[in-house]
Amino acid sequence: MSEYNAPPSVSLTPAGPLPSGKGAVHREELGRKTIEGVDVVGSREITTMNAGAFGNEKTEDIVKEFWYSPWLGINVITKRFDPRHVQNFEVSNINPSEPNPKMFQPPADYRVVKMNGQ
């Protein structure tokens, strides 16, 4: 079994000109709202890519929208609008109650097998 250690924070590209010189990043706050009974905070990141940055003939915007739940510690909704594609990620059926403990019990035929001296 391996353990997942999430990073303590997410590293965002700083607002302002991109280090590559191919565009700039702008951020805006979208306020607060409730999604499926969970309070979330919204933000939008707009990356304006200069003409020629990725084969584009004109300036193009890449827009990322996030609705973050401090209580859950995750983005409940993430949307990405890009001239090349659109991505949407949404957490649904949020249930704040404790899960059934049976979900965490191993099956009846579960057994531990030692591997080559480990």
Domain presence at residue 99: no
Contact at 8 Å (CB) between 59 and 51? yes
Domain presence at residue 102: no
The confidence score (pLDDT) of residue 53 equals 79
Whole-number average pLDDT of the chain: 86
- The pLDDT profile of the chain, 118 residues, written as one tens digit per residue, is 455 555 555 566 778 888 888 889 999 999 999 998 999 999 999 999 888 877 888 988 999 999 999 999 999 999 999 888 899 999 999 888 888 999 999 999 998 888 876 5
Domain presence at residue 24: yes
The confidence score (pLDDT) of residue 117 equals 64
Domain presence at residue 101: no
Domain presence at residue 44: yes
Domain presence at residue 5: no
CA distance 56 to 17: 18
Q: HSE of 55 in the Cβ direction (CA atoms, 13 Å)?
A: 2
Structure tokens at 84: 């090349």
Domain presence at residue 104: no
The confidence score (pLDDT) of residue 96 equals 81
Per-position DSSP letters for 7-25, written without gaps between them: -SS--PPPSEE-TTSSEEE
Please count the structural domains in the chain: 1
Domain presence at residue 46: yes
What range defines the domain where residue 34 resides? Answer: 16-94
The confidence score (pLDDT) of residue 9 equals 54
